[in-house]
Amino acid sequence: MTSLEWKNKGEFYTINNQQVFVIDEGNADETLVILHGYPTSSFDYYKALPFLSKKYRVIIHDHLGFGFSDKPLNYSYSLIEQADIALLLWKKLGLNEVTILAHDYGTSIATEIIARNNMNLLPFSIKELILCNGSMHIELAKLRTIQKLLKNKITGKWVAKLANQTVFNRNIRKIYADSSKVSQEELNAMWFQLNYNNGRNVIHLLSNYINERYFFWHRWIGGLTQTPIPTKIVWATHDPIAVRAIGEQLHKEIPNNELRWLENTGHFPMLENPEEWSNLVLS
């Protein structure tokens, strides 16, 4: 699927004076809201969407700074604010009960939402939480060199300016278990959406989420250890960043959870093995 085809499937909503791109598909009674990862977009789910929409109405938005959503320069891109945007969008869509699925960057937005839910601050109920390959336990993550450079206030802007599609393609392929499963068309779509609306001007600002995972560790990991919400952990075994040990640690500390492994799969399981991953999410 091309970027243009994906864009034509969605629509834009104005949230806090910013344009947010939203995919809303399926007619089921239950609603699945998805929080996507870094540095990609809702496009990550184009292969899994046909499977997921058999059970759910599926809503995926591009976070601010990502994909087709606005990418303002004068914005903090804090995960706290990304949670605000998600909650305001879901309120605008009139959602009363949701299942939240989060991957990578999106898992920390989810943990902020869970922390608020623990304090009875949400206007809707959460039926289930599904966590997939994200480095919430940042102390266990194996960050790539480019991630470390981008999150640095001094080097981040320059690394973003110097990055090109060849570097991007190489880094994406390295985090697949089987790099042959990512096509050039998919890489082209990811790169196009990353650059859309001058996206490279904000990529170093987005990368501060890694620092926030340390700063808000007690709020976010603490929120998970206190949540009564049934939680499903769907973890790809061969992710070189959000490693197996993170999935195991979450399984130990979240009160009401089940852990499901997806074997021989890397950091983007919904793209690398979409049907098998979707089956684990839905089962």
Tokens read off for 198: 């001058």
Range of the domain at 277: 3-282
CA–CA distance, 64 with 56 (Å, rounded to integer) = 24
Q: Is the bond preceding residue 274 a cis peptide, omega within 30 degrees?
A: no
CA Rg value for the chain: 17
Mean pLDDT of the chain: 94
Q: How confident is the model at residue 142 (pLDDT cuts 50, 70, 90)?
A: confident
Within its chain, how far is the Cα of 69 from the centroid? 14
Q: Which amino acid is at 183?
A: S
DSSP 34: E
Helix (H) or strand (E) holding 261: strand 257-262
Q: How confident is the model at residue 151 (pLDDT cuts 50, 70, 90)?
A: low
Question: What's the total number of domains in the chain?
Answer: 1
Coil, strand or helix: which one is 158?
A: helix
Task: Specify the residue for token string 């959000």.
Answer: 242
Give the chain's count of helices (H) and strands (E): 14, 8
pTM of the predicted model as reported, rounded to 2 decimal places: 0.95
The arithmetic mean of pLDDT across residues 231-244, rounded, is 97
Q: How confident is the model at residue 160 (pLDDT cuts 50, 70, 90)?
A: low
- Listed residue (105, 79, 89, 75) closest to 198, CA to CA: 75
Q: How confident is the model at residue 95 (pLDDT cuts 50, 70, 90)?
A: very high
Domain of 275, CATH number, reads 3.40.50.1820
Strands, sheet with 57-61, edge to edge from the N-terminal-most edge strand: 11-15, 18-25, 57-61, 31-35, 97-103, 125-132, 231-236, 257-262
Tokens read off for 48: 């899994």
CA–CA distance, 195 with 202 (Å, rounded to integer) = 10
User: pLDDT tens-digit profile of 184-227?
Assistant: 999 999 999 999 999 989 988 998 999 999 999 999 999 999 99
